[in-house]
Amino acid sequence: MKIIAGNWKMNGSQSALDKIISDLSEIDTQNTVILCVPYTMLNTKSDKIAIGAQDISKHTSGAYTGEISAQMVASTGAKYVIIGHSECRQYHGDTNSDVREKATQALNNGLIPIICVGETMDEKQAGKTMAVIESGVRECIPSDINTKIIIAYEPRWAIGAGLTPTSAEIADAHNLIAKTLADMGLSGTPILYGASVKGNNAAEIMSISNVDGVLVGGASLKSDDFIPIITSVK
């Protein structure tokens, strides 16, 4: 059983979400399916599909115009939240320290954080991939946690680019994350791979050791693209 999470980014509409949830409810799968949608759609209910947000504030409440707290997201019934996505790091300047604070907020409010780590192209070319991944895991996860979290390895240069690392590179990254999590007392934490996952590469990616599922951007927007990813694995 795998975890298949979609990230709609700033795309979609309520009618498109209702349609995909209806289509996804028809398929026979044991996999956990999550859709992380824009805030305006978080109130959507489904028996089969879990709903998540794409970011939260690191603050509890107060004068933070435009921000949404973990408590507000949790009050919609959403169960998950993506934290530290590449686009939040790039456009909002989120650092590992911000990600850790946001993860703390998520956990304090009963949300399961999907914490993203991964290297930029510059970091990859400088030979820093493994160091960035390990420091990301160590610095983004709050200490003393006793509830579930999910880690997503997302090579930032590959997101939305139609590019993927080699299977050996994905295996190295996921093995390092699993080893680091074990060292932190967090063995068994699911580790997703994300960046340019499609129906034609999903099964191969999810057959790699320590890949417990995928985080999917563009290909999660339409049933025709998302369902083949979900049904590619048992």
Point out the residues that are catalytic: 85, 154
- Could you give the CA distance from residue 134 to residue 178 in angstroms, rounded to a whole number? 10
Contacts of 152 (CB under 8 A, 6+ apart): 5, 82, 114, 115, 116, 117, 191, 192, 193, 194, 215
Phi, psi for residue 112 in degrees, rounded to 5: -90, 115
Q: How far is the CB of 162 from ligand PEP (least distance, A)?
A: 8
Q: How far is the CB of 84 from ligand PEP (least distance, A)?
A: 11
Question: Could you tell me which residues are beta bridge partners of residue 214?
Answer: 4, 193
CB 155 within 8 A of CB 119: yes
Nearer to ligand PEP, 110 or 228 (CB): 228
Nearer to ligand PEP, 144 or 190 (CB): 190
Q: How far is the CB of 214 from ligand PEP (least distance, A)?
A: 8
Nearer to ligand PEP, 111 or 202 (CB): 202
Which positions touch ligand PEP (CB under 6 A)? 7, 154, 159-160, 194-197, 215-219
As a whole number of Å, the CA-based R_g of the chain is 16
Nearer to ligand PEP, 182 or 223 (CB): 223
The H-assigned helical ranges of 93-222 are: 96-108, 121-125, 129-140, 167-183, 202-206
* Count of Cβ atoms closer than 10 Å to residue 48 Cβ: 12
Tokens of 80: 């998950």
Question: Residue number with the shortest CB distance to ligand PEP?
Answer: 217
Q: How far is the CB of 90 from ligand PEP (least distance, A)?
A: 11
Phi, psi for residue 190 in degrees, rounded to 5: -65, 140
Residues in the chain, total: 234
Nearer to ligand PEP, 75 or 200 (CB): 200
Q: How far is the CB of 152 from ligand PEP (least distance, A)?
A: 7
